[in-house]
Amino acid sequence: MKKNTGFIPDETYLKDIDAAALSGGLFEPLPSEEKQTDVINRPSVSYWENARAKLKADPLAMGGFMIIAIMIALAVFGPMMRPYAYDEQNYSIANQTPSADHWFGTDKFGRDLFVRVAYGARISLTVGMAAAAINMAVGVIYGGISGFVGGRTDMLMMRIVDIIMAVPSLLYIILVMVFLGAHMHSIIIALCFTYWLGTARIVRAQILSIKSQDFVLAAKVIGETDSKILFRHLIPNSMGPIIVTVTFLIPQAIFYEAFLSFIGIGIAVPVASWGTLANDSLSNMNTYPHLMLFPALAISLTIFAFNFIGDGLRDALDPRLKR
């Protein structure tokens, strides 16, 4: 066992040792760039900046945005590009194949198919985006109140959701269409009956998970009202899942509109929608396949594009995937 001598080095002794070590080359000066340990070498990136960067790096999502931009341009400017009305009939040029005069050909009444597809884009995109926006507003408010208040109010509001979801949504839509008639506004109203249910559940789950965090307690301490806490703090912090959900609602609404028009209870003829165009071409599909090709292609591309955007937003807005 080593014997303790009780020697305690004084300050002069330590200085002599340091001087000897420096003169002997045991140490070398630290470079100036390594002395700046408190300097942040990488700039701070916010949540939304990081999400935008990841979204730009996703080729499928950017391709989806490009397709949607083309469809919107087609809906806005497409009918102006050709000198034909969507309901202009000319039996002498019926069922023509695509040509320089009629880019997508003509239908059995001699109507220009390109103009009708472009006009149908207006109907389908309007129905999809309007239904998604309305249902987002209803679902966010309903789910936010349910999750924030909690208790019996939450239980009652969620049981109402369960009761409505027990009946297939297509049945609600068909009943509304039968009573209100076949036009665009009735389709939007019909979609609003059930589309908000999924959004409400997602928002409620998000509110329940974050309402006990410290920033909510701090807002209560400084005297914020419950409504301000909900709409200024809780809902903005839940916008990631909400945006993703709404993005997936749009192609579903477009598909429902096309399906209802295809079976004859949606948009009434001669108004053109992608569903009515597909229905009109069904009888001559084998003889004139271009009549079915272009409406079906427009529906498929739009739905694929929104699904790609939704997948990209889901990955970009997930904080666990931040890089």
Q: Which two tokens stand for residue 152?
A: 């019996």
**What structural domains does the chain harbor?**
47-321 (1.10.3720.10)
| pLDDT of the residue at 133 | 85
CB neighbours (10 Å) of residue 189?
A: 16
| pLDDT of the residue at 275 | 80
Q: Are 274 and 74 in contact (CB under 8 A)?
A: no
| pLDDT of the residue at 25 | 55
| pLDDT of the residue at 23 | 54
Please state, in angstroms and rounded to a whole number, the distance separating the CA atoms of residues 299 and 259.
11
DSSP per-residue string spanning 26-64: S--PPPHHHH-TTS-SS----HHHHHHHHHHT-HHHHHH
Instruction: Return the SS3 of 265.
Output: coil
Please state, in angstroms and rounded to a whole number, the distance separating the CA atoms of residues 245 and 152.
27
SS3 content of the chain, % helix, strand, coil (to 5): 70, 0, 30
Please state, in angstroms and rounded to a whole number, the distance separating the CA atoms of residues 273 and 258.
7
| pLDDT of the residue at 29 | 65
Beta bridge pairs of residue 112: 106
Please state, in angstroms and rounded to a whole number, the distance separating the CA atoms of residues 225 and 211.
14
Element holding 170 (H helix, E strand):
helix 169-180
| pLDDT of the residue at 8 | 53
Closest alpha carbon to 298 in 282, 274, 280? 274
Radius of gyration of the chain (CA): 32
Q: How far is C-alpha 247 from the geometric centre of its chain's CA atoms? A: 2
Give pLDDT < 70 ranges for the chain.
1-48, 269, 318-323
| pLDDT of the residue at 266 | 72
What's the DSSP call for residue 212?
T
| pLDDT of the residue at 60 | 87
| pLDDT of the residue at 66 | 92
